[in-house]
Amino acid sequence: MKKLDSKKVLFLNLLIVLFVLLASSGLYASLNSQEEAKNTYQELIQQEDTLLNHNGSDNGLECFQCHISIGSNEPQKEVATDQCLACHSQNYEGLATLTQNLEPNPHESPHYEDMDCTMCHQVHQESKLMCAECHTFDWMEDLGPSWLK
Q: Which listed residue (17, 18, 86, 148) binds other proteins by CB under 8 A?
A: 17
> In the complex with other proteins, which residue's Cβ is closer, 70 or 87?
70
Residue 51 sits at the vertex; the CA angle it makes with 49 and 56, to the nearest 5 degrees, is 110
Q: Which listed residue (123, 132, 146, 147) binds other proteins by CB under 8 A?
A: 132
Give 127's strand partners: 147
Residue type, 8: K
Distance of alpha carbon 134 from the chain centroid? 22
Rounded to the nearest whole angstrom, what is the least distance from the CB of residue 40 to other proteins in the complex? 20
- Site size toward other proteins, by CB under 8 A: 37
Q: Choose the stretch contacting other proteins; rule: CB under 8 A; options: 16-24, 39-47, 58-66, 86-94.
A: 16-24
Number of H helices, E strands in the chain: 5, 0
Q: How many CB atoms lie within 10 A of CB 95?
A: 19
Q: Choose the stretch contacting other proteins; rule: CB under 8 A; options: 5-13, 33-41, 43-51, 89-97.
A: 5-13
Q: Where are the extended beta strands (E) located within the chain? A: none
Q: Which listed residue (29, 112, 144, 145) binds other proteins by CB under 8 A?
A: 112
Phi, psi torsion values for 127, nearest 5 degrees: -75, 155
In angstroms, the CA 127 to CA 121 distance is: 5
Binding site for other proteins (CB under 8 A): 1-6, 9-10, 12-13, 16-17, 19-20, 23-24, 69, 71-72, 74, 76-78, 110-113, 115-116, 119, 132-138
